[in-house]
Amino acid sequence: MPSSNQTPDEQTSRTEPGNNTELAAANQELDTLRAENAILRENALRLDMVIDSTGAGYWDWNMETGEVAMNEQWARLIGYTLEELMPTTLDTWQQHCHPDDLQKAMVLIQEHSDGKTDHYECELRMRHRDGSWIWMLDKGKITERDDKGHPKRMVGSHLDISQKKKSDSILHKRIEFEHLIATISNRLINLALEEINPVIDDILGIVAQHVHADRCYIFQFFDNNSKMNNTHEWCAEGVNPEIENLQELPTSVFSWWVEKIEDREVVYCRDVSTLPEEASAEREILEAQDIKSVLMIPLMAESKAFGFIGLDAVKEYMEWDPDTIGLLKLIGGIISNALARQKAEKLLETELNLALQLSASQSLQETLNLCLDTALDISGMDCGGIYMVDPKDHSLQLTVHKGLSERFLDATCSYPAGSRQQQLVLEGKPIYGQFQASITHKNEQARDEALKAIGVIPVLNKGRAIACMNIASHTIEHFPAASKKALETIASHIGAALLQATHEEEITETKNNLETLFNTIDDYLFIVNSDGNVIHSNRATSEALEMSYDEITGHHVLDFHPENQHATAHQNITAMLEGTGDLCMVPLQTKSGKLVPVETKITRGIWNKQPVLFGISRDVTQRLKAEQALRESEKRFRDLTELMPQPVFECSTDNIVTYANKTSYTLYGYSGSEMTAGLSMFDLCVPESRPQLREMHQRLLKGSSLESREITALTKSGDTFPATVYASAILSGKNVIGFRGVVFDLTKHKEIEAARRESELKMRIIQNYQNLLDNIPGTVYSTDSFQRFRFILSSQAEEATGYAPEEITGMPEDWASIIHMDDREEYQRACQAMESNLLPTVLTYRIFSRNGSCKWIEDRRSPIIDATGDYAGSDGILLDITDRVQTEKEKNELESQLRQAQRLETIGTLAGGIAHDFNNILTPILGYAELLEQLLEPETGLLEYVREISTASVRAKHLIGQIMTFSRIEESKHTSINPATIIDEVLKLLRPSIPATISIITAIDRKTRNIDADASQIHQVIVNLCTNAYQAMGANSGTLQLYLREEEPSKSLREKHPDLEARPYAILEVHDTGMGMNKETLERIFEPFFSTKPVNKGTGLGLSVVHGIIKQHGGVISVASKPGKGSVFTVYLPISVGEVHEETPQALQPGTTTMHASLIFVDDEEATVKMMKTMLENKGFTVYATTSPKEALEIVRQGSKPIDLVITDLTMPEMTGITLATQLHQFNPSLPVVLITGHGNDEALVQSLDYKEIARILRKPVSFAILVQEIQQILEP
């Protein structure tokens, strides 16, 4: 088989010759194919030329493999070469297709694959190599399917339609703009005035959204373009509105773009950061608002810019093409016309409203206010006023005003005739300018108002100025030009209205004055027409008749009189009209039927050019009542005078009694008939008083209204009494027809006067001696008979009580109010007793001062006895004896403590004596026991009994030692002592007295070193602390704990207790589980006499003594406690610098070496002498034993026997051991003397401690072994 790579010619040359026929046929077929190929190549070339001429790229998609064959043009359309895109697949197309368009294209391809469409066609965007998007028209068709109808191959083309799309977009936008302009124009046609602003706001939103702006707004200039307001605004979602912040902005801040707007230029900047340097201020403001692009279209009216429309791009930079800007300028013109029409219609509406309001105005004031409000509204100014020209002197008078200060008004409220201001107004020409420049004001008050723009618009009527409107502003520099014509138009229209309102005001004022006068008359005024009907009446008539004005008007005048008296009323009216009568006394009848007595007068007159009758009715009800009251008053006067406790007289001018009340009969002793039977007033007084009566009557006759004289009255029986006569004249018209008088008996008054003078005298005395009273250490007072304090005369009252004297006398129970409740009953009882026995008394009680403190008062008072001998009160002095009571209390407490100390001293002395005797008894017992212990052999079995006797004797000795410690009276002597030993002694002493319910726990560190202290005082400290502790626990169960240790205080503890030093201390702690203490108690725990125990249960000295002892020893004591938690007392005592160790003498053992020495033993106890003689001789001593110190002294004095040592008792009847030692040393100064004592508080013992010739001092009962040891130490030093 020929190779597929051979040409048909090559294949033919190798064919066998026998095959010529086939070869010919093949050649013919080959020629045919060559012709067809030539046609195909020509067609392909032609197709390529056609494709190239269309600029389309084609593609061939193998839908089974995904491979896509593309031509070079397809690649060039998106900026690539075909080689750069190889290998080309479906992904190549998808990767360059816009994501939003890819989905749509795939849907369309699927629909074509499914046979739903004849071919596939889609407009989509392809990503160009430079990153831009190219619009493509993608067309294709499935050309081959498999047996099942599934698509296998699809071919198509791409055509660049970007330019067409752009042209379509421009055309679409232009159509939209034309539609937008038409819409805007239609919306602004035939709008009502109030609809214009909302529609403009809507239009701004439509325009902004159309050109993709984030904010669209309008600014309008004012004040000669020096300021501008943001009047309209639309903002996209997420963009903050600024309209509230952009009011009254000075245009000088935006000078660059305002200048361009005024030149009718459009201001457009795609990037505000590129604004020129001269627009730096605008650039800074725009950037502060995050504005990226800005466009401003001028708003024009009458070839002048009055504002602009602004568009801002905030979210991204915007580029607006010239066509868009041109269309926006057209829209700006439409909005300009709408705003201009708004102003014109507003002005027209304002003028129409003013005309309607003026026609309905009820007063000149209302008319002026309407004119001023309208002028301010039209001009946009903030203040002004209207001056009226006074028709009398042509001066200017400010009648209404708005927005001006009182200070300015005071200076400009009027301008006189001839003034500069008056002359300008009368000229009738409007004046506009600045206040300071146009009108000269020398008055500083006017200049201080700081007015700027002002307009003075005269109001004319028939060419004559009748008023002027002054319109001004505090902020606007230039008077708005658009407002001038409007104001002048208004001024031309209101002249007649003002003149008419002025005339109506004058008429109304006159009418009101007449009506006011008519209604202020209390009489009933009415007007009746010729038919007899009432046509007018005043308010008093309506009130009297209980009818309204309308109810009265139109009714016949006779309808207001009782029907049964109509004829009488008619006759009276006729008589008055004919001149034959004066009054009509027929009463009026009210709506309710009540009759009102009146007197009526009628006169003829003219009313509204018609003949009428003027009537006046006067209510005579009160007069009739007064007349009746007068009659009743006279009766009551008579009744009253009869009841008066003073004599009442009436007499004629010649002093004859014409009337006297019953009291007069009683006081003077005359009967009623006698008193009025020609008795003279002179008969009722002693002759000496008659001149005073005559003088009084003469003065009354001369016109005096009231006279009084003091006389001596005379009764029928001849008795006299002091009296005062008060008299007045009885008048008839202006004539005196008699006298009326009252007589006051002065008997009681004289007595009271005497008492008053006495009281004043007393007060003068008090005042004269006030210094003396103030220096009295007390408060002087006086009480009345009810124990009420009348006055407190000492300045010390307030010091003692805290209350001012007037506060005390104003208390509910007076002085008793501040007396202690426990003492108040005794105080009342003592006061009652003094009132009964009329004897001076001394009271002692407590009071509470204002601050709540209790004070003791000694009240010394004496009764006041009146002239009748009755109790009338008391005088007294209050002494503050609080300090004295407190001193006495403290004295009593000290005396009690002294007695207690004396009892303790007595007990101590008694205890010492008992201890001495007991020691004398114990001495032979212990001595013989020791002797027996030496003599008895252990095998006897008796030695144990002897030792028990010795043990019991030693225990008795310790007990006596404790008693002696209690009774010891010595000066404080500090020695080195072991605190643990003291604690042991105290616990042995206290254990029997501590309740068994209280357990004692100790933790004693025996290694604690000695302290330098007085053993007895430390003993007392521990006793007091332990006693305090178990008493705090009471009879209840509890635990007493004692701890002893040695340690150096920490730094923090030393800071808390500055007296502690950095050195070792013996620390004693005493714990109890008692009730504990609060903070207040802790603060006072160491105060002398302070105690929480009941009375007689403690002196309050225990802890204060403890505190003092510890301080004396250079130590510190502290306490910690809480209520219910017990207490802990801690004592710090410094450790001794030098340690002293106690040596315990060794007991003398049997068989010890015998001693050879001569000694004298002296004791007043025979048993002791025998025992000591026996024991000492048993040790080999030569003993001269005696119970007489004198005998011992004689032995030594004789010198016949050598004496090596004297042992003597301290206390003996003949002489003390000290005296014996002194006298022995007179004979033998070197003779050693040993003192033995059984007493605990012997003064001789105290003296012996300082006596140098005493070799030893031993306490009974002394151990024989110790005695022998001491003798050995003395004799063998």
Nearest CA to 339 out of 396, 285, 310, 300 is that of: 300
Q: What DSSP element (H or E) covers 1099?
A: none
Nearest CA to 612 out of 622, 602, 626, 623 is that of: 602
User: What are the structural domain ranges in the chain?
Assistant: 1-45, 55-160, 168-345, 361-512, 521-619, 637-745, 778-880, 897-971+1145-1277, 979-1141
User: Count of CB atoms within 10 A of residue 703's CB?
Assistant: 9
Same fold, 521-619 and 637-745: yes
**CB contact at 8 A, 1068 and 1043:** yes
Beta-carbon contacts of residue 669 (< 8 Å; ≥ 6 apart): 715, 716, 717
pLDDT of residue 1019: 84
- Tell me the chain's radius of gyration from C-alpha atoms: 70
pLDDT of residue 1139: 43
Q: In what order do the strands lie in the sheet with 1127-1134?
A: 998-1004, 1038-1047, 1065-1072, 1127-1134, 1116-1121
The per-residue DSSP string of 971-997 comes to ----EEE-HHHHHHHHHHHHGGGS-TT
- Token pair for residue 480? 């708005």
For residues 648 and 668, what is the distance between their CA atoms, to the nearest angstrom? 12
* Tens digit of each residue's pLDDT (9 = 90 or more) over 445-458: 667 788 888 999 89
Q: In what order do the strands lie in the sheet with 1254-1259?
A: 1182-1186, 1158-1162, 1205-1209, 1233-1237, 1254-1259
**CB contact at 8 A, 74 and 82:** yes
* Tens digit of each residue's pLDDT (9 = 90 or more) over 788-803: 876 666 666 777 788 8
Mean pLDDT, the chain cut into blocks of 10 residues (1277 residues total): 44 52 80 79 68 76 89 89 89 90 91 91 92 91 90 90 79 72 72 81 87 92 86 91 89 89 91 90 88 93 88 91 85 84 77 78 84 87 91 89 89 88 86 68 68 89 88 86 81 78 71 72 86 88 89 89 88 78 85 89 85 87 77 74 84 90 89 87 91 91 89 91 91 87 85 71 63 69 80 68 80 84 90 89 90 89 84 86 83 65 61 71 80 77 77 71 51 76 85 83 92 85 87 83 93 87 94 88 70 53 75 89 90 75 41 72 89 87 92 87 89 87 88 80 48 76 82 82
Q: Which CATH architecture has domain 979-1141?
A: 2-Layer Sandwich (3.30)
Beta-carbon contacts of residue 1248 (< 8 Å; ≥ 6 apart): 1210, 1217, 1218, 1235, 1254, 1257
Domain 168-345 falls under CATH 3.30.450.40: yes
DSSP β-ladder status, 1038-1047 and 414-415: unpaired
Nearest CA to 213 out of 317, 331, 283 is that of: 317
Superfamily of domain 361-512: GAF domain (3.30.450.40)
- Token pair for residue 538? 């005043």
For residues 975 and 1142, what is the distance between their CA atoms, to the nearest angstrom? 12
Beta bridge partner(s), residue 471: 384, 455
For residues 463 and 781, what is the distance between their CA atoms, to the nearest angstrom? 95
pLDDT of residue 1135: 93
For residues 386 and 399, what is the distance between their CA atoms, to the nearest angstrom? 6
Beta-carbon contacts of residue 239 (< 8 Å; ≥ 6 apart): 214, 215, 314, 315
For residues 111 and 140, what is the distance between their CA atoms, to the nearest angstrom? 12
Domain 637-745 falls under CATH 3.30.450.20: yes
pLDDT of residue 1001: 92
Nearest CA to 1110 out of 1000, 966, 972 is that of: 972
pLDDT of residue 47: 64
**CB contact at 8 A, 152 and 144:** yes
The per-residue DSSP string of 8-48 comes to HHHHHHTS-GGGHHHHHHHHHHHHHHHHHHHHHHHHHHHHH
For residues 1087 and 1102, what is the distance between their CA atoms, to the nearest angstrom? 10
Treating both helix axes as pointing N-terminal to C-terminal, what angle do 979-990 and 943-967 enclose, rounded to 10 degrees?
Answer: 100
For residues 522 and 542, what is the distance between their CA atoms, to the nearest angstrom? 11
pLDDT of residue 490: 82
Domain 521-619 falls under CATH 3.40.1350.10: no
Quick one: fold of 55-160?
A: Beta-Lactamase (3.30.450)
For residues 290 and 312, what is the distance between their CA atoms, to the nearest angstrom? 10
Which amino acid is it at 327? L
Beta-carbon contacts of residue 1206 (< 8 Å; ≥ 6 apart): 1159, 1160, 1162, 1192, 1196, 1220, 1221, 1224, 1231, 1232, 1233, 1234
For residues 830 and 857, what is the distance between their CA atoms, to the nearest angstrom? 14
- Token pair for residue 944? 């144990």
Q: Which CATH number fits domain 897-971+1145-1277: 3.50.40.10, 3.40.50.2300, 3.40.190.10, 1.10.10.10?
A: 3.40.50.2300
**CB contact at 8 A, 1256 and 1234:** yes
Nearest CA to 201 out of 301, 327, 342 is that of: 342
Token pair 């010198």 is at which residue?
A: 1199
Superfamily of domain 778-880: PAS domain (3.30.450.20)
